[in-house]
Chain A
């Protein structure tokens, strides 16, 4: 509530600037746009959205209000947007969870493709495979060899069942056909703690959270996903370089609107998000945090989301991840 009133104050200031701008030729938008972030403040998605929020307000010419609606692994915030009026004034900014959850749960309170329409793909983020220095196998080949020699002994931490850090592991297991122990935690924070303490041996994690531990030597980077090396960790090889091109899970962030939102409103929003995310200052900041910025059209994002959903459905099915 307080946050809203603060945001509205800023909003009013931004509005007065916005009204003067000549780009406001169409009917939409005429009032503040609410971006629902289905995660808590200070998380990856929240940081991403708040980084480009000022540039977005400039591009839209109206205030953009960020509303955190955390809970249920993004399902609470997502179902709020799915039920919101389809007028373009409420949108959802979400990570890979939107394409993974349909595979994981058969009792979601919404139907992703029936209730929502894609607006724009914002950014992608590679994940990095880390090892504790005490683990015997310190390269991709050595890990595969060790896992084959002693099946079911190597331990891999993750941020939870069905989390992107878990699915990356499942994808690797599927591609390389190895048998290792998955150790889920409540979020990547506690998982990282136990990895640094050497209680588990390996983990997939985001780049920005991993960098301090790589720099200090507490953790050893094995490989990073993505088509090219990541500027944030230029010395770490990609999985493709090491001969595992199919181990390529990426976190993808994008924006969705309720189904039925007028097409021209979706187009306006999509252009504004693309402009904001590709603002040079925003790009520099996000690269530093390990994001690659995109800013796609609705159709491009829709196609990516569809293929991602199919991929994760296959991974979840073959990994036999237990969900009721």
Chain B
């Protein structure tokens, strides 16, 4: 395959005035969708899908794709500034992004996240261009046993997310797992914890839990009579937007790691940007020389996950385009759109519709570049959002979240659920129970259960399947190592603590 000729074809398609316009519209809409809390790419794309039926298929796909990866770009803005995630994949950005803003480094965080998004996304495009078919083949090797072990590994790796009280962290994971159980069980068809309420039959959406726990409870916290106004300066000089050499060095490794993690989770059908960003955060915390900086405004805690979720959004096109199997619900929507246009997604799409595949790839590059130049100047505007009086800002945010949650399923019951989770989230926040372990339980719990039972079902109940499959075995070994490391480092920390306790006694 002649890459240069293909690229030339791709740019030829993507740079046509109409497609350039679709790309620009897509990424602009995506940015705003990402920034507006609660309104995610899923809701937007399902709303816009019907009106794209009149467009030419390449233009429509370029625009829809632009919304998808554009939304990942903008989603960290409110996480950093307001501690309210733009959408679910950015929930983890709150952990370090918002402390940065409190320290007056909001601009650094925003620029860092824009650059991380750009690098993560652009590198992932290179990966898709060069290696999409072999990567897709590799992804096909992941069966239920492999998924089970991988998700278990992700859950273990994320154990480092829990701060402070181990018991509270564990309790939150269990609560998350229970929330994940709600709905009609995939394997048996049993209705679990739905109390004959059909609105719960499909389970509780992760978006609702994330928005309730992070966004609604944050707004409630700020309503407290003693809530101190946040000390975030809304003035900054443009020079602050240029990252210092030190910042750059600090962030660079995390961006590359984030790209790797994001590309892997994106290429595997069934995972996606949200899991990628959570795993990236855990990895950054694990590899950091001083993990205690995390949660207090560590730049890598923003740039790693940002790079990861953008890479995952781009890599998500690998299984969708080359195998015709959608990686997540949004990709399923796009696949549906392709079929309406009469394009059969699948292994032949690259050879049968080269202008579609390469045009889309080239447009993603252009789109990422547009996003970067669109986002840097916007930072000035976003930061000024903070000078909006809270009595106007917070009701607007609540409104946007309600619109976003409602629009996904056109179901008002989801708003009731959102309010309930907001209240629960607020109470748990007051009790110092950390939200991230709960969110992981909600995302990973159902995946772990579903795949474990499926693997056992296919192998007639033989648990050896998890050990005889090499990829699965490798993941389980890695998981065991994490547990050992956790115990060893815990013991060492306790010994140090004891020594520290002993020291003053000796002086006495």
Interface residues of A, Cβ cutoff 8 Å to B? 1-3, 6-7, 40-43, 46-47, 50-51, 66-73, 75-76, 79, 104, 107-109, 152-153, 155, 160-162, 181, 183-187, 189-190, 192-194, 196-200, 208-209, 211-213, 215-216, 218, 288-289, 321-324
Contacts and interface: CB of A to CB of B under 8 A. Distances in A.
A70 B409 contact: yes
B50 A76 contact: no
Contacts of A104: 189
B333 A109 contact: no
B50 A72 contact: no
B269 A71 contact: no
B238 to A, nearest CB: 35
B319 A1 contact: no
Interface stretch (B118-126, B180-188, B239-247): B180-188
B410 A73 contact: no
B192 to A, nearest CB: 9
Given A41-B333, A47-B336, A216 B411 contact: no
Interface of B: 46-47, 49-51, 53, 140-144, 184, 186-191, 196, 198-199, 201-202, 269-270, 319, 323-326, 329, 332-337, 339-340, 342, 344-348, 403, 406-407, 409-411, 450, 454, 457-458, 460
A181 B460 contact: yes
B47 A71 contact: no
13 contacts: A1-B406, A41-B50, A42-B46, A42-B335, A47-B336, A70-B410, A160-B189, A161-B189, A183-B458, A185-B186, A197-B143, A212-B346, A212-B348
Interface centre among B189, B332, B339, B450 (most CB of A within 10 A): B189
Given A71-B411, A186-B186, A212 B199 contact: no
A72 B410 contact: no
Nearest to A193: B325
A12 to B, nearest CB: 15
Contacts of B406: 1
Contacts of A109: 198
Contacts of B196: 107
Interface centre among B141, B332, B403 (most CB of A within 10 A): B332
A196 B335 CA distance: 17
B46 A41 contact: yes
Contacts of B49: 41-42
A309 B165 CA distance: 55
A310 B275 CA distance: 44
A305 B326 CA distance: 32
Contacts of A323: 189-191
Given A43-B336, A76-B411, A324-B190, A71 B198 contact: yes
- Label chain A's interface by main secondary structure: mixed
Given A71-B202, A183-B454, A197-B142, A190 B348 contact: no
Contact of B143 (A160, A194, A289): A194
Contacts of A161: 184, 186-189
B191 A324 contact: yes
B458 A181 contact: yes
B332 A189 contact: yes
A3 B50 contact: yes
A190 B269 CA distance: 8
A199 B144 contact: yes
Given A68-B46, A72-B198, A185-B186, A47 B141 contact: no
A200 B334 CA distance: 26
Contact of A3 (B47, B336, B345, B403): B47
Contacts of A288: 342
Nearest to B201: A72
B400 to A, nearest CB: 12
Contact of A76 (B51, B199, B345): B199
Contacts of A198: 140
A140 to B, nearest CB: 22
Contacts of A322: 188-190
A42 B339 CA distance: 9
A128 to B, nearest CB: 15
Q: Which 6 A-B pairs have the closest CB atoms?
A: A212-B346, A42-B336, A161-B189, A199-B143, A72-B201, A197-B140
Contacts of A72: 184, 198-199, 201-202
Nearest to B183: A72
Nearest to B446: A186
Nearest to B136: A196
A191 to B, nearest CB: 10
Given A68-B410, A183-B458, A212-B344, A189 B325 contact: yes
A50 B454 contact: no
